[in-house]
Amino acid sequence: MSAQHIPSATVDPQAQPAIEMIDVHKWFGEFHVLRDINLNVRRGERIVICGPSGSGKSTMIRCINRLEEHQKGRIIVDGVELLDDLKRIDEVRRDVGMVFQHFNLFPHLTILENCTLAPIWVKKMPRKEAEEIAMHYLTRVKIPEQANKYPGQLSGGQQQRVAIARSLCMSPKIMLFDEPTSALDPEMVKEVLDTMVGLADEGMTMLCVTHEMGFARQVADRVIFMDYGQIVEMNTPDEFFKNPQHERTRLFLSQILH
Amino acid sequence: MSTAVDMPRFVRAREAEALPPPNLARGPIAWVRENLFSGPFNTILTLVVFYLLYISVPPLLNFLVFDAVWTGADRAACRADAGGSESGACWAFIWDKINYFIYGSYTISERWRVNIFFSLLAIGVVWLLWLKAPRRDLGAVYFFWVFPVVSYILLTGGNENFSVRFWIGFAIFGALIIALFAFVSALLKTSMRPALILGGGIVAVIGVTLALVDFNFGLEHVPTSLWGGILVTLLVATVGIVVSLPFGIVLALGRRSNLPIVRLASVIFIEFVRGVPLITVLIMANTMLPLFLPGDMTVDRLLRPLIGTALFASAYMAEVVRGGLQAMPKGQYEGAMSLGLNYPQMMSLIILPQALRIVIPGIVNTFIGLFKDTSLVAIVGIFDLVKTIEASRIDPDWAAPTIGLTGYAFAALFYFIFCFGMSRYSLGVERRLAAGQKR
From first to last of the 439 residues of chain B, give the pLDDT tens digit.
Answer: 455 566 788 888 888 888 877 766 667 787 888 888 888 898 999 999 999 999 999 989 988 888 888 888 787 788 877 666 667 888 888 888 888 999 988 888 888 989 999 999 999 888 888 877 788 788 888 888 888 888 888 888 877 777 888 889 889 988 998 888 888 888 776 677 878 888 888 889 888 888 888 888 878 888 888 888 899 999 999 999 889 999 999 999 999 988 899 999 999 999 999 999 999 988 888 888 777 777 666 778 888 888 889 999 999 999 999 999 999 999 999 999 999 998 889 999 999 999 998 898 899 999 999 999 999 988 888 888 998 998 888 888 888 888 888 899 999 999 999 999 999 998 888 888 776 565 4
CB count within 10 Å of CB B45 equals 13
Kindly report the backbone phi and psi dihedral angles of residue A40, in degrees, each rounded to the nearest multiple of 5, phi listed first.
Answer: -115, 130
**Can you tell me the distance from the alpha carbon of B44 to that of B46, in angstroms, rounded to the nearest whole number?**
5
- Which residue of chain B is at minimal alpha-carbon distance from A171? B339
Q: Which amino acid is at B182?
A: A
> Mean pLDDT in chain A?
89
HEC sequence for chain B: CCCHHHCCCCCCCCCCCCCCCCCCCCCHHHHHHHHCCCCHHHHHHHHHHHHHHHHHHHHHHHHHHHCCECCCCCHHHHCHHHCCCCCCCEHHHHHHHHHHHHHECCCHHHHHHHHHHHHHHHHHHHHHHCCCCCCHHHHHHHHHHHHHHHHHHHHHCCCCCCCHHHHHHHHHHHHHHHHHHHHHHHHHCCCHHHHHHHHHHHHHHHHHHHHHHHCCCCCCCCCHHHECHHHHHHHHHHHHHHHHHHHHHHHHHHHCCCCHHHHHHHHHHHHHHHCCCHHHHHHHHHHCHHHHCCCCCCCCCCHHHHHHHHHHHHHHHHHHHHHHHHHCCHHHHHHHHHCCCCHHHHHHHHHHHHHHHHCHHHHHHHHHHHHHHHHHHHHHCCCEHHHHHHHHHCCHHHCCCCHHHHHHHHHHHHHHHHHHHHHHHHHHHHHHHHHCCCC
Please give the residue of chain A at the shortest CA–CA distance from B355: A108
pLDDT of residue B431: 84
Decide if A122 and B190 are in contact by the 8 Å CB cutoff: no
Q: With contacts defined as CB-CB under 8 Å, which chain A residues touch B339? A: 93-94, 117-118, 122, 166-167, 170
- Mean pLDDT, chain B, rounded, equals 86
Please, are residues A205 and A174 in contact by the beta-carbon 8 Å criterion?
A: yes
Answer positive or negative: Cα dihedral of A241, A242, A245, A251. positive
Please check whether residue A49 is in contact with residue A224, taking contact to mean a CB–CB distance below 8 angstroms. yes
**Contact by Cβ (8 Å): A153, A145:** no
Q: Which of A61, A69, A74 is nearest to A177 (CA)?
A: A61
Burial category of B135 from C-beta neighbours within 10 Å (exposed 0-12, middle 13-18, buried 19 and up): exposed
Query: Min CA distance, B223 vs chain A (Å)?
Result: 47
Does A8 score more than 70 pLDDT? no
Across the A:B interface, residue pairs with CB atoms under 8 Å apart total 78
- Answer whether B342 sits within 8 Å of A86, measured CB to CB: yes
Phi, psi of A234, rounded to the nearest 5 degrees: -145, 130
pLDDT digits (tens, 9 = 90+) for B112-142: 989 999 999 999 888 888 877 788 788 888 8
B339·A100 Cβ contact <8 A: no
Q: What is the pLDDT of residues A174-218, one digit of tens each?
A: 999 999 998 888 888 999 999 999 999 988 999 999 988 889 998
User: For residue A12, what pLDDT band results from cuts at 50, 70 and 90?
Assistant: low
Phi, psi of A206 (to 5 degrees): -130, 135
Closest Cβ opposite residue B349 in set A65, A102, A117: A117
- Enumerate the residues of chain B whose CB falls inside 8 A of the CB of residue A103: 331
**A106 and A117 in contact (C-beta within 8 Å)?**
yes
Confidence of residue A84 (pLDDT cuts 50, 70, 90): confident
Give the pLDDT score at B350: 93
- A230 burial level (CB within 10 Å; 0-12, 13-18, 19+): middle
Instruction: Report B:68-97 residues touching A (Cβ under 8 A).
Output: none
Answer for the pair A81, A92: CB distance below 8 angstroms, yes or no.
no
Buried b (16+ CB within 10 A) or exposed e, B202-231: ebeeeeeebebbeeeeeeeebebeebbbbb
Q: What is the pLDDT at residue B290?
A: 76
Listed range (A60-69, A85-94, B183-192, B196-205) with the worst mean pLDDT? B183-192
Cβ–Cβ < 8 Å for B227, B106 = yes
Whether residue B288 contacts residue B354, with contact meaning beta carbons closer than 8 Å, is answered with: no
Does B357 touch chain A if contact means CB atoms closer than 8 Å? yes
Start-to-end Cα distance in chain B: 40
The reported pLDDT for the residue numbered B152 is 87
Helix, strand, or coil here: A190?
A: helix
- Between the CA of residue B131 and those of B358, B388, B428, what are the distances in Å? 18, 35, 10
Contact at 8 Å (CB) between B231 and B121?
A: no
Give the pairing type, strands A222-227 and A80-81. Answer: unpaired
- The residues facing A34 across adjacent strands are A26
**Phi and psi (nearest 5°) for B48?**
-60, -45
Q: Show which of residues 120-149 on chain A sit within 8 Å of chain B, judged by CB atoms.
A: 121-122
The dihedral built from the CA positions of residue B229, B235, B240 and B241, taken in this order, carries a sign that is positive
Closest CA–CA distance from residue A258 to any residue of chain B (Å): 29
- Closest partner residue to B350 (CB to CB) among A67, A106, A110 is A106
Confidence of residue A1 (pLDDT cuts 50, 70, 90): very low
DSSP A5: P
Closest CA to B90 of B409, B390, B396, B391: B409
- Structural domains present in chain B: 91-106+225-433 (1.10.3720.10)
Chain A environment of B357 (Cβ under 8 Å): 108
Please choose, from the candidates B411, B392, B385, the residue with its C-alpha nearest in 3D space to the C-alpha of residue B74. Answer: B392
Query: Residue A66 contacts by C-beta under 8 Å, 6 or more apart in sequence?
Result: A82, A89, A92, A93
What was the pLDDT predicted at B85?
Answer: 67
Tell me if chain A has a CB within 8 Å of the CB of B14. no
Cβ contacts of B342 on chain A, cutoff 8 Å? 86, 90
Enumerate the residues of chain B whose CB falls inside 8 A of the CB of residue A93: 337-340
Contact B357 A108 (CB under 8 A): yes
Q: Give the pLDDT score at B53.
A: 95
Partner-chain contact A67 B349, CB within 8 Å: no
Q: Is B334 on the interface with A (CB under 8 A)?
A: yes
DSSP A152: G
Residues of A in contact with B436 (CB under 8 A): 110, 150
Interface test with B, best of A82, A90, A115 (most B CBs within 10 A): A90
Partner B, chain A 193-252, Cβ-Cβ below 8 Å: none
Q: Say how far apart CA B147 and CA B153 lie, in whole Å.
A: 10
Which residues are A47's β-sheet partners? A207, A222
pLDDT in tens, B320-367: 999 999 999 999 999 999 999 988 899 999 999 999 988 988 999 999
Residue A86 sits at the chain B interface (C-beta within 8 Å): yes
Identity of the residue numbered A191: E
CA pair distance A75, B35, nearest whole angstrom: 66
A36: left (phi over 0), alpha (psi -120 to 50) or beta: left
CA A119 from centroid of its chain's CA atoms: 19
Find the DSSP H helices in chain A.
57-64, 86-95, 111-121, 127-140, 156-168, 186-201, 213-219, 237-242, 247-256
Phi, psi dihedral angles at B364 (to 5 degrees): -65, -35
**By CB neighbour count within 10 A (0-12 exposed, 13-18 middle, 19+ buried), where does B284 fall?**
middle
Cα B20 to chain centroid, rounded:
47
The whole-number pLDDT of residue B35 equals: 81
Q: Residue B291's pLDDT is what?
A: 79
Whether the full predicted model's pTM is greater than 0.95, yes or no, is: no
Query: Does B332 contact A86 at a Cβ distance shorter than 8 Å?
Result: no
Report the residue from B339, B357, B439 with minimal CB separation from A170: B339
Tell me whether residues B342 and A100 touch, CB distance under 8 A. no
* Separation of alpha carbons B140 and B35, rounded Å: 46
Torsion sign, CA atoms B311, B312, B318, B321:
negative
